[in-house]
Amino acid sequence: MRVLSFSEKGCIRKNNEDSFLVSPAQGLYAVADGMGGHRAGEVASSTALQELEKRAPRFVEFEDQALESELTEAFVQANRVVYESSTTEPENAGMGTTLTVLLVRSKTVVIAHVGDSRAYLWRDEVLTSLTTDHSLVGELVRLGQISQEEAEKHPQRHVLMRAVGAEPEIELDCRSMSLQIGDVFLLCTDGFSNMISNQELAEAFLEAGSWEERFERLRKLTLERGAPDNFTALCCILE
């Protein structure tokens, strides 16, 4: 697995509240987008990834459904720690974070997810979204009340319905799938996906050049469009 990454504060924000994790030994990759005032978002995203990383050595002992269960427990623990910090430390009040995780094994991959950061699969020159945004607008799309195009410009598209640390209990999406040689997984925060549409992403992946060159073009395009939010992306290439 070859991994490319970038994480930037963007053109307007003063600090970067995104965090990401690359742990090849455990086949563990993750992005998190924190929220909260006075740097609390940074605390939330980094804390969630620290809790995930602490549990990572256990993942190598499990396969299949047991692996999904173990990853779910990692989310529960991360939620517990972030929530306790937000309710006991005044400077962290109201903080939370998205968390999107890719756990790679020899033949399978597990994707676990809370929030509106995303995971995509590029396979056989087709881009597939592997996650559903846990946001107010995402719910309106699922209910058929607005289109995906309307969602991309909706004034409340940043309102989350689920986040790590927002509530005492957490509900996450978790799924497993088989791997194929040539698969490319993209994990990204909404600062990236709000700037680059799915169609543009697919077109960029079809462009000539190396993956490094394609990824760099996407980074530059995000900045050229004003990058009003922090943006982070991991590109995991199965060779």
For residue 150, give both structure tokens.
């309307």
CB–CB of 190/229 below 8 Å?
A: yes
Q: Can you give the pLDDT of all 239 residues of the chain as single tens digits?
A: 999 999 999 999 999 999 999 999 999 999 999 998 768 999 999 999 999 999 999 888 777 778 899 999 999 999 999 999 999 999 999 999 999 999 999 899 999 999 999 999 999 999 999 999 998 777 777 767 777 767 677 666 678 899 999 999 999 999 999 999 999 999 999 999 999 999 999 999 999 999 999 999 999 999 999 999 999 999 999 98
Residues 167-177 as b or e (16 or more Cβ within 10 Å = b): eeebebebebe
Strands 28-35 and 118-123: unpaired
pTM attached to this predicted model: 0.93
Residues paired with residue 97 on neighbouring β-strands, in sequence order: 34, 164
Side-chain half-sphere CA neighbours of 67 within 13 A:
24
For residue 183, give both structure tokens.
């698969």
**199: phi then psi, degrees, rounded to nearest 5:** -65, -45
- CA atoms of 179 and 125, how far apart (whole Å): 15
User: Which domains are delineated in the chain?
Assistant: 2-237 (3.60.40.10)
